Chains A and B, each alone.
Chain A
Amino acid sequence: MTRTPLIVRLAPWLFTLGFLLIWEFAVRGFKIPEFFLPAPTIVAKAFYDFWPAIVRNSWITLQETLVGFGLAVGFGLLLGLAIGWSRTIYAGLYPLMVGFNAIPKVALVPILVLWFGIGFLPAVLTAFLISFFPIVVNVATGLATIEPEMEDVLKALGASKLDIMRKVGIPRSLPYFFGSLKIAITLAFVGTVISESIASNNGIGNLMLQAQAQFQVPLIFAGLVALAIEGIAMYGLMAMLEKRMTGWAQRSGFAQN
């Protein structure tokens, strides 16, 4: 493994800094009013001024997201294995799942509110509903792409379906699974914030809605920044997990520079 060149390691910071600088100068140069698009420095000030509220609500959003995501991982894994296991289950469930996935989850929030009231639970469930699909599809794909020759080798030795699943299928679908976690965690945040901005008194989604009602535009943006930070942190965590668990699947030297 060669050491990553300095420029590549610095690139994320440099690009982000460049983005913020362009934003700052564009807002100042074109004299864009603060209530339309606040400059990054103004957003930073709002972030500082409303720090306690942002921290409290971010924590709530994070909790809701993680519980929903956890449910999605458990349920998605089970369903993915079931679909990969049996062609009948696959044929039966697939249209249902595709149809379900096509429903905009925002349309489900009112129903969830009807059942569970407002607050924590609908946010968790929206996060869950929006993020389980990619996990199911990826786990099932991993299982479906077992080489038939590999299956023959093991079957000829008297391997049961469970043996093949344990020795080949599950390890094989792990890279797909961990890959899908990165997508799922991002979607889970989307779900939580949707639900919070419709039916909650807490969370970043609600905070932004309140800020909008009071025309505190810098605070809206501060909320976005808080979400972005949480999103990046969780994505990073998932990427790290993926690398640790399935290093064998990532050896391509593509796009090294």
Chain B
Amino acid sequence: MNSGKIAMGVFWASGLITLAILVIVIGHILLNGMGMISIEFLLDSPRALGREGGIFPTIIGTIALVVVALVIATPIGVGGAIYLAEYTHRGTITKIIRAGAECLAGIPSILFGLFGFAFFVIFLGFGWSILSGGLTVACMILPMILRTTEEALKAVPNSYREGSLSLGATKWQTTQNVVLKSAAAGIFTGIILGAGKVAGETAAIMLTAGTALRLPTSLFDSVRPMSFHLYILAMEGLSMERAYGTAAVLVITVLIINSTTTLIMRYYTRALRG
């Protein structure tokens, strides 16, 4: 057999191994976890530290953190991207900002956690709370929203802008009514991906949002999101079935997020083609 045939065999095998890994990881979690998922599991409060009952407060915890993070990171990220894409030409400042955002995107989540703990929890005195956790993860997803929005804005054809400007609209009116509308699907995709990242985040949140298992009533309450609940259930051996159930809910969340973004982009490219 010649080296070409061997190489082709190796490539085929690598593709299949990758597919097999995916099927095993996802399949194992879903097969063992789906049986656990029920209305009671999703809407019940945990009892005995999570050994019994459901995961309702942790779902609320995850949603609360996602909402706070998006409310903070979306306007800043989108605004920054508008500045980079619409209001400035390639210059030193934009280069520095892009390099900074790239750096920020590469920082490990545990370092965001350290920072959030020292700055939001202790220095600003927010304590272990939804607010501290949400602000910390907002910093994490900021570069992501910035980059996806900037790319979406760049994809808008220049003729749209010129058409609007030539009708007498100001720069901001053009941006608001023409450019942002055309780029909406791309921006929305970035925001959903940011939400997905927050929903799965654990390390940064465990240092900033605390571990409370009750339902939060204010932004200053501590919460435990699903991801951290899964960690505690599994590491302390409290309940493996409930850990599988929580893991399955997390995987399904990612599945929903991925298919939503795919659908949006497919619809969007079709609309662009006319």
Please indicate whether A and B come from the same complex rather than being unrelated chains. Answer: no
The interface of chain B, by Cβ under 8 A from chain A, is none
